[in-house]
Amino acid sequence: AQTVTQSQPEMSVQEAETVTLSCTYDTSESDYYLFWYKQPPSRQMILVIRQEAYKQQNATENRFSVNFQKAAKSFSLKISDSQLGDAAMYFCAYRSGSEKLVFGKGTKLTVNP
Amino acid sequence: DAGVIQSPRHEVTEMGQEVTLRCKPISGHNSLFWYRQTMMRGLELLIYFNNNVPIDDSGMPEDRFSAKMPNASFSTLKIQPSEPRDSAVYFCASSLATGRREKLFFGSGTQLSVL
């Protein structure tokens, strides 16, 4: 079974600085997607970024980028120029041909002014 | 589009009572997912449907839990009888069933408290 591991239960960053959230996963499949979701205190799950396993180029969305290392099964999220509104729980997720979206346990990000 | 709509937003009930959570997916989406979120276990997939048909219910904790999708625009998750350990946030999500690329759109969740 596929598993997703986020080894950092909590992280903090100063406003305007850069922070990296870690994620590793375990799978025997070769074709899959990886996602980062953000969950602010409002509880809403918001897609931040997604990466296709077959693409070597790392995905970027404005201040958010990923470092995808397929051989190492690693998928970290980098947030540049952190803003107070970035404070939230961040979940790494994996989706394969079975269409299940499997989540990690999340990292709570605090942004300090 | 109004997004995925869940009701109620909060539910407080007593142990032994029946609880029904409701979900309206985004129009045109034909995959629907029920997740449960707790501090200890994170986000767990309970069950998902494709074209109103349950595909995988291996995450349903026990027989007290049941889910239905009578049509493309409505799904329910029922707990009978409820227990305090069922207290959690229950999310419904929907997506286009066109493959792994499609993102899931989540509802705002139902906070369930079983006393």
Are residues A43 and B89, on separate chains, in Cβ contact within 8 Å?
Answer: yes
Cross-chain residue pair A103–B103, CB shorter than 8 Å = no
Chain A partners within 8 Å of B103 (Cβ): 35, 47, 50
Interchain CB contact of B108 with A (< 8 Å): yes
Q: Does A45 touch chain B (CB under 8 A)?
A: yes
B91 vs A contacts (CB less than 8 Å): 45
The predicted-structure confidence for B23-53, as pLDDT tens digits, reads as follows 999 999 989 999 999 988 889 999 999 999 9
Torsion angle of the four alpha carbons B97, B68, B78, B6, in this order, in degrees rounded to the nearest 10 = 50
Indicate the residue of A32, A44, A103 with minimum beta-carbon distance to B108.
A44
- Dig out the tokens for A113 from the structure: 């002014």
pLDDT given at position B97: 67
B108 C-beta neighbours (distance < 10 Å), count: 18
pLDDT along chain A (113 residues), means of 10: 90 97 93 93 92 91 96 96 97 83 94 96
Kindly report the average pLDDT of chain A as a whole number.
93
Compute the distance between CA of residue A44 and CA of residue B107 in angstroms, rounded to an integer. Answer: 7
DSSP assigned state of B85: G
The token pair that represents A3 in the structure block = 């598993």
**Nearest-Cα residue of chain A relative to residue B56:** A100
Please report the pLDDT score of residue B26 as a whole number. 95
